[in-house]
Amino acid sequence: MTEINEEDFKELKSRLQLIFDADPDQFHSDSSLKRFLRAFITVDSAFTSVLKCNKWRREFGVESLTSDNEEIQTQLATGVGKILPHRDIEGRPIVLITGKLHNAYERDVDVLTRFTVYLLETASKKCNEDVIDNLCVIFDLRDFGMANMDYQFVKNLIWLLTKYYPERLGVCLIINAPVMFWGCWQVIRPWLHDFTASKVVFINGAEHLSQFLCPDILPKDVIVSTVANNEEQQQ
């Protein structure tokens, strides 16, 4: 994790404090400001990015995306995305995405983006920021086919994590990846910053997965298989 220059942090907080005092709804915790500073490096860039994030949150209606929202309830019922009740070994909240339940040709990209924001927002609120402030995202690709491959969803997820949830991704675990997914990964990999790509781990079995979480906490229908020649296929 990049070390934060304390003077830069104080300057960023000072510059934003007047805005936050005038509009408490725009308040960011110290942990949030530090994530923006780590992601955007300079005080000027972090300051601008926080203001853009606040503007986006208001216009996008982030606060309305709750489990009481009918659209969110419909998406939750599909089972494609859920927040698990347990955490990984680092204490991160876990978001599980089940690829086979998603059809790229039938989805509404705007609805899907709002659901993605709901998952990120809800999982982030489960973080104990005094201990760890990032997430574990798991993609289960068992029975995954090309109809499930949604490049626009991936681009939107990268955009959200980069612009509005910076430094929230702690680790991304890919389990049960079929051979055909390696071609998809060759398309996706260049979209990622090297540091972000280093957080993506292709799991090659239950023993490997146990380095990140207890496999028993996964839903009973999630069976982790062995991926042959995993390291070789990633190169």
pLDDT digits (tens, 9 = 90+) for 92-113: 999 999 999 999 999 999 999 9
DSSP-H helix ranges across 61-172: 70-78, 109-125, 151-163
Asked whether residue 168 falls in the same domain as residue 87, the answer is yes
Asked whether residue 43 falls in the same domain as residue 87, the answer is no
| pLDDT higher than 80, residue 123 | yes
Would you say residue 68 lies in a domain?
Answer: no
Question: Which residue in 174, 15, 24 sits closest to 99, CA to CA?
Answer: 174
Q: Report how many domains make up the chain.
A: 2
CA distances from 226 to 31, 88, 174, 178 (A): 37, 20, 12, 10
pLDDT band of residue 117 (cuts 50, 70, 90) is very high
CB proximity list for 214: less than 8 A, separation 6 or greater: 86, 89
37-51: pLDDT as tens digits: 999 999 999 999 999
| pLDDT higher than 80, residue 21 | no
Would you say residue 209 lies in a domain?
Answer: yes
Is the CB of residue 150 less than 8 Å from the CB of residue 104? yes
**How many other CB atoms sit within 10 Å of the CB of residue 150?**
19
- What is the spatial distance between Cα 132 and Cα 157, in angstroms, rounded to a whole number? 21
Instruction: List the domain range (segments joined by +) for residue 49.
Output: 6-60
Reported residue count of the chain is 235
- What is the spatial distance between Cα 88 and Cα 100, in angstroms, rounded to a whole number? 23
Would you say residue 219 lies in a domain?
Answer: yes
| pLDDT higher than 90, residue 71 | yes
pTM over 0.75: yes
Would you say residue 22 lies in a domain?
Answer: yes
Asked whether residue 91 falls in the same domain as residue 42, the answer is no
pLDDT at residue 30, rounded to an integer:
87
